Amino acid sequence: MLAQYGSNLLVAILLSLHALKKSKDKSSVFSRLAPYLKALGGLTADARILFRIWAILPMVKWMVGIERQLPPTRNLKLIERMQALSMVVYAPMEAAAYLAMHKVLPISDRVQNNLWLYGCRLWAAYVVLDFWHIMEDNRLLRTRAKALEKSRGHPSPPSTESATLTEEQEATRRMWSDIYARKDMLLTQFWVNVGYLPLTLHWSLTKGLISDGWVGFFGMIAGLASWRMQWKATA
């Protein structure tokens, strides 16, 4: 992901530097590097879509899992159902368009373009719904924090780290740590969506919305935030 969008961003920077030099020499280092980086970005984008074909079944499993273990609030239940539905429809549309692009499926260019277009609109809907999901999660987290503060208070201050804590104090500290970790995760997910929203809107329009350079910029925001989230999950 970082390679794909980083390549787009670097290409835009290199071409801008080339233009700033006002050089007509097409053999300058900036203009010579740009096509290779663009090819790298295209290759990684192609590979990512190929790997996503196999994500259709996990998405169906996720949709079924929502009904087996319903979210804690009515809003979250509605949000997750709509998100799951959007992804379950989006995934095969993207897969069909990708396979048609590579001449694996006999689909016309017009239908193929519509699959890309409407698929990205479903992805954009998922991102918008995820902002709503974050707001609802944050509301529940604030309620949980208020209840914890009322029942147990705050954890011991840092100055008492060396002191022996009681079992109840340790439990309180773990509860607050869990709340802080959850807040951090929600903030990171927010930045993932900040990166993805302009991209999905751009790809949802026939003529697009932003340049390749901005695609790289917003893609890097989403990529770095996703990388941070995965790093935290494995820490």
Query: Where in the chain are the domains?
Result: 2-155+167-234
Residue 184 or residue 172, greater confidence: 184
Which pTM does this prediction carry? 0.84
> What do you get for the CA distance between the two ends of the chain, in Å?
21
Q: Is the pLDDT of residue 12 over 90?
A: no
Position 35 scores a pLDDT of 79
Helix pair 29-52, 74-101: axis angle to 10 deg? 120
Q: Rounded to 10 degrees, what is the CA torsion of 89, 51, 216, 122?
A: 0
Q: Is the pLDDT of residue 195 over 90?
A: yes
Confidence of residue 37 (pLDDT cuts 50, 70, 90): confident
Report the distance separating Cα 81 and Cα 154, nearest Å. Answer: 36
| CA-to-CA dists, residue 53 to 92, 99, 178, angstroms | 8, 10, 34
DSSP codes joined into one string, 15-78: HHHHHHTT---TTSHHHHHHHHHHHHHHHHHHHHHHHHGGGHHHHHHHHHHHHHS--SSHHHHH
Position 30 scores a pLDDT of 63
Rounded mean pLDDT, 25-49: 76
The predicted-structure confidence for 76-91, as pLDDT tens digits, reads as follows 999 999 999 999 999 9
Rounded mean pLDDT, 22-48: 73
Q: Is the pLDDT of residue 160 over 60?
A: no
